[in-house]
Amino acid sequence: MAGIRLPPEDTDVSQIRQPLTADLISDDDRSIAADSWSIKSDYGSTLDEDQRHADASEALAARHRAASDYSSDKEEPDAETISSMLGFQSYWDTAYADELTNFREHGHAGEVWFGADVMEMVASWTKGLCVDVVQKQVQNHHDDNNSELGSEGERDLAAWTVLDVGTGNGLLLQELAKQGFSDLTGTDYSEGAIDLAQSLAERDGFASIKFLVDDILETRLDKKFHLVTDKGTLDAIGLHPDGPVKRIMYWESISRLVAPGGLVIITSCNNTKDELMQEVENFNQSKAISSQETDTPAESDACTNPKIFSYVDHIRTYPTFMFGGSVGSRVTTVAFVRS
């Protein structure tokens, strides 16, 4: 379970509501994450929970502005400013309790984060990327002893072990199943999310997808996966007042969960591709430094191969728009390969 569970009322929501979308300045590749729920209307989504969406949209806008300040080396943002109810498990437990009721009473699947179009695009792009990666690794097979995915037996997508962290209603896994993946596991720290995801999977004919309650920051999973996906979970984790520390814990966990040669694919409305790449680079550097400090032969392996994760590709086909003279998109999806 999450290490810090402050009740949502500890968060001064009035503060995080102040920033306006107009405060968000975009650069060329900036994902203007003004609100994941306004993405819902742009991309099409399924739920009509206006107040929750409005609250969260404002929280995400506040976080985005704070993140911009933080990444440009200005003063550290006030922790209260960047905190949000979306960073707390209590928020998600309440949200999924509502969604479960909605499902039982009306058969609704719940929120499709960033919209159905984005979800489908992520799934089909992921499939294409995995096929490409396997083809490349098969070509390099004889030179590449470090990759589990290079073996003949794992050419088929069905052989990929897939983990979706913070799976919510698990619909991304259903989309990945439609693309040909079949060894699928979803985890979420909210029991209600897992109940909902399991119920939906059974209803929709995907009963073989496995779902487990698990906190990614203190994961109890002890296996490695060829593919780890995250749609909106790192965003939520980063919204906790201790977001910067929790994000480091997140990458620690992810580095243990992705198999050598495997991929992690992050979809975010709160960070740009460049910000995610910088975060990964910072993580790589911190791991390289800590392994240089420990003088054991096994750990000094990182000296010769310091990058735990390397950028592979990102989705280039999301709709863009002009804002403040710059081009932006509201969501970004970036893939990294594990060394």
Ligand X SMILES: C[S@@+](CC[C@H](N)C(=O)[O-])C[C@H]1O[C@@H](n2cnc3c(N)ncnc32)[C@H](O)[C@@H]1O
**Is residue 166 a contact point for ligand X (CB under 6 A)?**
yes
Q: Which is nearer to ligand X, 32 or 85 (CB)?
A: 85
Calpha distance 179→173 (Å, rounded) = 10
Tell me the sheet residues that pair with 313.
Answer: 335
* C-alpha torsion sign, points 215, 216, 222, 228: positive
Does residue 193 belong to the site contacting ligand X (CB under 6 A)?
A: yes
C-alpha span between 273 and 284 (Å, rounded): 16
> How many chain residues are in contact with ligand X, going by CB under 6 A?
20
- The Cα-based distances of 165 to 254, 288, 320, 324, 336 in angstroms read 9, 25, 27, 34, 15
3-state helix, strand, coil in the chain (%, to 5): 50, 15, 35
Nearer to ligand X, 10 or 28 (CB): 10
Tell me how far, at minimum, the Cβ of 28 lies from ligand X, in Å: 26
Closer residue to ligand X in complex, CB, 66/85: 85
**241 binds ligand X, rule: CB under 6 A:** no
Nearer to ligand X (CB atom), residue 186 or residue 261: 186
Residues 102-141: x where in contact with ligand X by CB under 6 A, - otherwise, as a string: -----------x----------------------------
Residue given tokens 């400090």 in the structure block: 293
Mask for 66-105, x = binds ligand X (CB under 6 A) = --------------------------x-------------
Place of tokens 């083809």: 135
Q: For residue 293, what are the contacts with CB-CB under 8 A and spacing of at least 6?
A: none
- Residues 11, 53: contact at Cβ < 8 Å? no
Cβ closest to ligand X, residue 192 vs residue 262: 192
User: Interacting stretch for ligand X, rule CB under 6 A, among 60-68, 72-80, 164-172, 299-307?
Assistant: 164-172
Using CB under 6 A, which of the segments 145-153, 212-220, 306-314, 326-334 binds ligand X? 212-220
Q: Which of 19, 115, 150, 168 binds ligand X (CB under 6 A)?
A: 168
Cβ neighbours of residue 319 under 8 Å, at least 6 residues apart? 42, 329
For ligand X, the binding residues (CB under 6 A) are 2, 92, 113, 166-169, 172, 188-190, 193, 215-217, 231-233, 236-237
